[in-house]
A = this chain, B = another copy of it.
Amino acid sequence: MTTSPSVDVVRRFNRSYTQRVGVLEESFLGPDMPLGTARLLYEIGVAPGTAHALRTRLELDSGYLSRLLRRLQDDGLVSVAPDPDDRRRRRIDLTPAGRERWDELERRSAERARRLVAPLSDRQQARLVAALAEADLLVRAATIEIATVPPGSELARRAVAEYFAEVGARIDGTGTFDVDAALAADAHRLVAPHGAFVVATSAGEPVACGGVQTLEDGSGEIKRMWVDGSWRGAGLGARLLRHLEDVARDLGHAVVHLDTNAALTEAIAMYERSGYRRVERYNDNPHATHFFAKDLTAG
Protein backbone atom coordinates (compact mmCIF):
# COMPACT_ATOMS: atom_id res chain seq x y z
CA MET A 1 0.00 0.00 0.00
CA THR A 2 1.47 3.31 -1.00
CA THR A 3 0.86 6.25 1.25
CA SER A 4 2.15 9.76 0.97
CA PRO A 5 3.47 11.61 4.00
CA SER A 6 0.66 14.14 3.83
CA VAL A 7 -1.98 11.42 3.90
CA ASP A 8 -0.31 9.79 6.88
CA VAL A 9 -0.20 13.01 8.83
CA VAL A 10 -3.84 13.76 8.15
CA ARG A 11 -4.85 10.29 9.24
CA ARG A 12 -2.75 10.41 12.34
CA PHE A 13 -4.24 13.73 13.24
CA ASN A 14 -7.78 12.50 12.71
CA ARG A 15 -7.17 9.51 14.85
CA SER A 16 -5.59 11.24 17.78
CA TYR A 17 -7.79 14.30 17.62
CA THR A 18 -11.02 12.38 17.66
CA GLN A 19 -9.72 10.10 20.33
CA ARG A 20 -8.77 12.95 22.62
CA VAL A 21 -11.26 15.59 21.87
CA GLY A 22 -13.84 12.85 21.76
CA VAL A 23 -16.50 12.84 19.18
CA LEU A 24 -16.02 16.55 18.82
CA GLU A 25 -19.60 17.36 18.41
CA GLU A 26 -20.36 16.00 21.79
CA SER A 27 -19.29 19.35 23.11
CA PHE A 28 -22.97 20.07 22.63
CA LEU A 29 -24.14 17.28 24.83
CA GLY A 30 -26.04 18.62 27.76
CA PRO A 31 -28.93 17.89 30.04
CA ASP A 32 -32.18 16.65 28.55
CA MET A 33 -31.11 16.98 24.96
CA PRO A 34 -29.72 14.39 22.59
CA LEU A 35 -26.87 15.32 20.30
CA GLY A 36 -28.90 15.69 17.11
CA THR A 37 -31.40 17.98 18.71
CA ALA A 38 -28.71 20.12 20.33
CA ARG A 39 -26.84 20.40 17.05
CA LEU A 40 -29.98 21.55 15.32
CA LEU A 41 -30.74 24.07 18.04
CA TYR A 42 -27.23 25.38 17.71
CA GLU A 43 -27.49 25.78 13.96
CA ILE A 44 -30.80 27.60 14.29
CA GLY A 45 -29.14 29.99 16.71
CA VAL A 46 -26.24 30.57 14.34
CA ALA A 47 -28.49 31.28 11.39
CA PRO A 48 -32.28 31.12 11.73
CA GLY A 49 -34.23 30.60 8.56
CA THR A 50 -36.63 28.26 6.89
CA ALA A 51 -36.84 24.57 7.62
CA HIS A 52 -35.83 24.05 4.02
CA ALA A 53 -32.61 26.00 4.46
CA LEU A 54 -31.76 24.04 7.58
CA ARG A 55 -32.44 20.81 5.78
CA THR A 56 -30.04 21.53 2.96
CA ARG A 57 -27.44 22.98 5.31
CA LEU A 58 -27.42 20.03 7.66
CA GLU A 59 -28.35 17.46 5.06
CA LEU A 60 -31.20 16.05 7.09
CA ASP A 61 -34.13 13.95 6.02
CA SER A 62 -37.26 16.10 5.95
CA GLY A 63 -39.19 13.73 8.20
CA TYR A 64 -36.35 13.60 10.66
CA LEU A 65 -35.99 17.36 10.71
CA SER A 66 -39.68 17.79 11.19
CA ARG A 67 -39.60 15.59 14.24
CA LEU A 68 -36.58 17.33 15.72
CA LEU A 69 -38.23 20.69 15.21
CA ARG A 70 -41.41 19.43 16.77
CA ARG A 71 -39.49 18.44 19.84
CA LEU A 72 -37.75 21.80 20.11
CA GLN A 73 -41.09 23.50 19.64
CA ASP A 74 -42.73 21.40 22.34
CA ASP A 75 -39.90 22.35 24.67
CA GLY A 76 -40.61 25.99 23.90
CA LEU A 77 -37.17 26.56 22.42
CA VAL A 78 -38.07 27.48 18.85
CA SER A 79 -40.97 29.18 17.16
CA VAL A 80 -42.35 27.85 13.90
CA ALA A 81 -44.31 30.14 11.61
CA PRO A 82 -45.22 30.06 7.91
CA ASP A 83 -42.78 31.94 5.73
CA PRO A 84 -44.68 34.96 4.33
CA ASP A 85 -42.80 34.66 1.03
CA ASP A 86 -43.78 31.07 0.44
CA ARG A 87 -46.36 29.62 2.72
CA ARG A 88 -45.28 26.07 2.06
CA ARG A 89 -42.14 26.88 3.98
CA ARG A 90 -41.85 27.43 7.71
CA ARG A 91 -39.66 29.98 9.35
CA ILE A 92 -37.79 28.71 12.37
CA ASP A 93 -36.55 31.08 15.07
CA LEU A 94 -35.31 30.77 18.60
CA THR A 95 -37.64 31.81 21.37
CA PRO A 96 -36.11 33.69 24.33
CA ALA A 97 -35.91 30.37 26.17
CA GLY A 98 -34.25 28.87 23.11
CA ARG A 99 -31.75 31.70 23.00
CA GLU A 100 -30.93 31.03 26.63
CA ARG A 101 -30.38 27.37 25.88
CA TRP A 102 -28.26 28.32 22.92
CA ASP A 103 -26.08 30.50 25.11
CA GLU A 104 -25.65 27.54 27.37
CA LEU A 105 -24.47 25.40 24.46
CA GLU A 106 -22.04 28.13 23.57
CA ARG A 107 -20.72 28.25 27.10
CA ARG A 108 -20.41 24.52 27.25
CA SER A 109 -18.57 24.35 23.98
CA ALA A 110 -16.25 27.19 24.96
CA GLU A 111 -15.58 25.53 28.28
CA ARG A 112 -14.64 22.35 26.51
CA ALA A 113 -12.20 24.16 24.29
CA ARG A 114 -10.81 25.99 27.30
CA ARG A 115 -10.13 22.75 29.13
CA LEU A 116 -8.36 21.40 26.13
CA VAL A 117 -5.85 24.22 25.92
CA ALA A 118 -5.59 24.89 29.65
CA PRO A 119 -2.74 22.47 30.39
CA LEU A 120 -0.54 24.11 27.78
CA SER A 121 1.87 26.93 28.46
CA ASP A 122 1.13 30.28 26.87
CA ARG A 123 3.69 29.68 24.19
CA GLN A 124 2.26 26.28 23.41
CA GLN A 125 -1.25 27.65 23.29
CA ALA A 126 -0.11 30.22 20.80
CA ARG A 127 1.48 27.49 18.70
CA LEU A 128 -1.65 25.37 18.83
CA VAL A 129 -3.85 28.28 17.86
CA ALA A 130 -1.66 29.17 14.92
CA ALA A 131 -1.58 25.55 13.75
CA LEU A 132 -5.34 25.07 14.04
CA ALA A 133 -6.11 28.35 12.33
CA GLU A 134 -3.84 27.39 9.45
CA ALA A 135 -5.30 23.90 9.25
CA ASP A 136 -8.80 25.32 9.40
CA LEU A 137 -8.24 27.62 6.46
CA LEU A 138 -6.67 24.92 4.36
CA VAL A 139 -9.24 22.27 5.17
CA ARG A 140 -12.01 24.67 4.37
CA ALA A 141 -10.28 25.51 1.12
CA ALA A 142 -9.84 21.85 0.29
CA THR A 143 -13.50 21.04 0.82
CA ILE A 144 -14.91 23.79 -1.31
CA GLU A 145 -17.24 22.65 -4.03
CA ILE A 146 -17.25 24.24 -7.46
CA ALA A 147 -20.37 23.80 -9.54
CA THR A 148 -21.88 25.26 -12.67
CA VAL A 149 -25.16 26.99 -11.92
CA PRO A 150 -27.64 29.09 -13.93
CA PRO A 151 -26.77 32.80 -13.66
CA GLY A 152 -30.33 33.41 -12.51
CA SER A 153 -30.21 30.98 -9.57
CA GLU A 154 -30.25 32.37 -6.09
CA LEU A 155 -26.72 31.18 -5.44
CA ALA A 156 -25.44 32.97 -8.53
CA ARG A 157 -27.32 36.15 -7.68
CA ARG A 158 -25.84 36.24 -4.21
CA ALA A 159 -22.34 35.68 -5.53
CA VAL A 160 -22.68 38.32 -8.23
CA ALA A 161 -24.13 40.76 -5.74
CA GLU A 162 -20.99 40.36 -3.65
CA TYR A 163 -18.89 40.74 -6.77
CA PHE A 164 -20.51 44.06 -7.67
CA ALA A 165 -20.39 45.27 -4.08
CA GLU A 166 -16.66 44.71 -3.99
CA VAL A 167 -15.86 45.92 -7.47
CA GLY A 168 -17.99 48.99 -6.82
CA ALA A 169 -16.26 49.74 -3.54
CA ARG A 170 -12.76 49.22 -4.83
CA ILE A 171 -12.91 50.76 -8.27
CA ASP A 172 -15.78 53.09 -8.53
CA GLY A 173 -16.31 54.16 -4.96
CA THR A 174 -19.83 55.25 -5.72
CA GLY A 175 -21.47 52.06 -6.96
CA THR A 176 -22.71 53.36 -10.29
CA PHE A 177 -22.56 50.02 -12.05
CA ASP A 178 -25.71 49.11 -13.84
CA VAL A 179 -26.16 45.84 -12.01
CA ASP A 180 -29.53 44.94 -13.40
CA ALA A 181 -28.44 45.36 -16.97
CA ALA A 182 -25.34 43.31 -16.36
CA LEU A 183 -27.36 40.50 -14.77
CA ALA A 184 -29.82 40.49 -17.65
CA ALA A 185 -26.96 40.14 -20.11
CA ASP A 186 -25.35 37.38 -18.04
CA ALA A 187 -28.54 35.38 -18.18
CA HIS A 188 -27.96 34.92 -21.91
CA ARG A 189 -24.21 35.06 -22.31
CA LEU A 190 -23.17 32.92 -19.35
CA VAL A 191 -25.16 29.82 -20.22
CA ALA A 192 -24.45 26.91 -22.52
CA PRO A 193 -23.62 26.72 -25.30
CA HIS A 194 -22.10 30.20 -25.30
CA GLY A 195 -20.83 30.29 -21.76
CA ALA A 196 -21.13 29.12 -18.18
CA PHE A 197 -21.28 30.47 -14.69
CA VAL A 198 -19.74 28.64 -11.74
CA VAL A 199 -20.03 29.22 -8.03
CA ALA A 200 -17.71 27.83 -5.33
CA THR A 201 -19.52 27.08 -2.11
CA SER A 202 -18.40 26.27 1.38
CA ALA A 203 -21.07 24.76 3.61
CA GLY A 204 -23.65 25.99 1.15
CA GLU A 205 -22.46 29.60 1.20
CA PRO A 206 -20.99 31.13 -1.96
CA VAL A 207 -17.34 32.00 -1.44
CA ALA A 208 -16.22 32.58 -4.99
CA CYS A 209 -17.62 32.75 -8.49
CA GLY A 210 -16.72 33.31 -12.10
CA GLY A 211 -18.16 33.11 -15.58
CA VAL A 212 -17.01 32.33 -19.08
CA GLN A 213 -18.56 33.91 -22.18
CA THR A 214 -17.78 33.71 -25.88
CA LEU A 215 -16.10 36.65 -27.64
CA GLU A 216 -15.90 34.92 -30.98
CA ASP A 217 -15.36 31.38 -32.20
CA GLY A 218 -12.48 29.81 -30.28
CA SER A 219 -12.03 32.83 -28.07
CA GLY A 220 -13.59 33.16 -24.63
CA GLU A 221 -13.59 35.68 -21.84
CA ILE A 222 -13.59 35.23 -18.09
CA LYS A 223 -16.00 37.54 -16.30
CA ARG A 224 -17.40 38.21 -12.84
CA MET A 225 -14.55 36.58 -11.06
CA TRP A 226 -14.76 37.12 -7.33
CA VAL A 227 -13.30 35.53 -4.18
CA ASP A 228 -14.69 36.31 -0.77
CA GLY A 229 -12.42 38.49 1.35
CA SER A 230 -12.04 36.00 4.16
CA TRP A 231 -10.87 33.38 1.70
CA ARG A 232 -7.93 35.20 0.23
CA GLY A 233 -4.60 33.49 0.64
CA ALA A 234 -6.00 29.98 0.42
CA GLY A 235 -5.24 29.50 -3.24
CA LEU A 236 -8.92 29.60 -4.04
CA GLY A 237 -8.55 32.20 -6.79
CA ALA A 238 -5.99 30.17 -8.68
CA ARG A 239 -8.07 27.04 -8.34
CA LEU A 240 -11.19 28.77 -9.58
CA LEU A 241 -9.24 30.23 -12.48
CA ARG A 242 -7.98 26.78 -13.49
CA HIS A 243 -11.53 25.52 -13.30
CA LEU A 244 -12.79 28.32 -15.49
CA GLU A 245 -10.07 27.58 -18.02
CA ASP A 246 -11.25 23.97 -18.13
CA VAL A 247 -14.76 25.22 -18.69
CA ALA A 248 -13.56 27.48 -21.51
CA ARG A 249 -11.72 24.58 -23.06
CA ASP A 250 -14.89 22.49 -22.91
CA LEU A 251 -16.72 25.32 -24.65
CA GLY A 252 -14.21 25.01 -27.47
CA HIS A 253 -12.05 28.03 -26.77
CA ALA A 254 -8.36 28.03 -27.61
CA VAL A 255 -7.70 31.29 -25.85
CA VAL A 256 -9.30 33.18 -22.98
CA HIS A 257 -9.25 36.89 -22.32
CA LEU A 258 -10.10 38.88 -19.26
CA ASP A 259 -10.08 42.47 -18.21
CA THR A 260 -9.55 43.94 -14.79
CA ASN A 261 -8.81 47.15 -12.99
CA ALA A 262 -5.48 48.45 -11.73
CA ALA A 263 -6.97 48.71 -8.24
CA LEU A 264 -7.25 44.92 -8.02
CA THR A 265 -3.58 44.31 -7.42
CA GLU A 266 -3.78 40.79 -5.95
CA ALA A 267 -5.93 39.66 -8.85
CA ILE A 268 -3.45 41.03 -11.35
CA ALA A 269 -0.58 39.28 -9.58
CA MET A 270 -2.53 36.05 -9.65
CA TYR A 271 -3.27 36.32 -13.37
CA GLU A 272 0.41 36.81 -14.05
CA ARG A 273 1.36 33.83 -11.88
CA SER A 274 -1.22 31.76 -13.72
CA GLY A 275 0.34 32.35 -17.13
CA TYR A 276 -1.66 35.32 -18.39
CA ARG A 277 0.10 37.94 -20.46
CA ARG A 278 -0.85 41.57 -20.94
CA VAL A 279 -2.63 42.40 -24.21
CA GLU A 280 -4.08 45.51 -25.82
CA ARG A 281 -7.52 46.73 -24.81
CA TYR A 282 -10.02 44.48 -26.59
CA ASN A 283 -13.29 46.03 -25.43
CA ASP A 284 -14.69 49.35 -24.32
CA ASN A 285 -15.37 48.47 -20.68
CA PRO A 286 -14.89 51.84 -18.97
CA HIS A 287 -13.91 50.24 -15.66
CA ALA A 288 -11.16 48.07 -17.11
CA THR A 289 -7.57 49.28 -17.22
CA HIS A 290 -5.65 46.03 -17.68
CA PHE A 291 -6.25 43.34 -20.29
CA PHE A 292 -4.93 39.78 -20.29
CA ALA A 293 -5.04 36.66 -22.40
CA LYS A 294 -3.89 33.06 -22.08
CA ASP A 295 -3.43 30.34 -24.63
CA LEU A 296 -5.32 27.24 -23.54
CA THR A 297 -3.83 24.88 -26.08
CA ALA A 298 -0.26 25.01 -24.73
CA GLY A 299 0.76 22.82 -21.75
Which residues does A use to contact B, with CB under 8 Å? 1, 3-14, 16-21, 23-25, 27, 103, 106-107, 109-110, 113-114, 116-121, 124-136, 138-144, 203, 234-235, 238-239
Contact = CB atoms under 8 A, between A and B. Distances in A.
Q: Closest 5 interchain pairs by CB?
A: A131-B134, A10-B113, A131-B135, A20-B143, A13-B132
Given A110-B1, A125-B6, A128-B6, A120 B135 contact: no
A235 B121 contact: yes
B18 A24 contact: yes
Contact of A113 (B11, B21, B238): B11
A100 to B, nearest CB: 12
A151 to B, nearest CB: 25
A136 B17 contact: yes
A128 B135 CA distance: 5
30 contacts: A1-B103, A1-B107, A3-B110, A5-B129, A6-B128, A6-B129, A7-B114, A9-B129, A10-B117, A10-B129, A11-B109, A11-B113, A13-B133, A14-B109, A16-B136, A16-B139, A17-B24, A17-B135, A17-B139, A24-B24, A116-B139, A116-B142, A116-B143, A124-B142, A127-B134, A128-B135, A128-B142, A130-B134, A132-B135, A135-B135
Majority DSSP secondary structure for residues of A touching B? helix
A128 B117 contact: no
Given A114-B4, A129-B6, A132-B135, A239 B11 contact: no
Contacts of A144: 119
Given A21-B14, A24-B18, A114-B4, A141 B120 contact: yes
A110 B6 contact: no
Contacts of A126: 6
A109 to B, nearest CB: 6
Given A1-B110, A103-B1, A142-B116, A132 B10 contact: yes
A3 B239 CA distance: 35
Given A14-B109, A119-B141, 4 more contacts: A12-B133, A17-B24, A119-B144, A128-B135
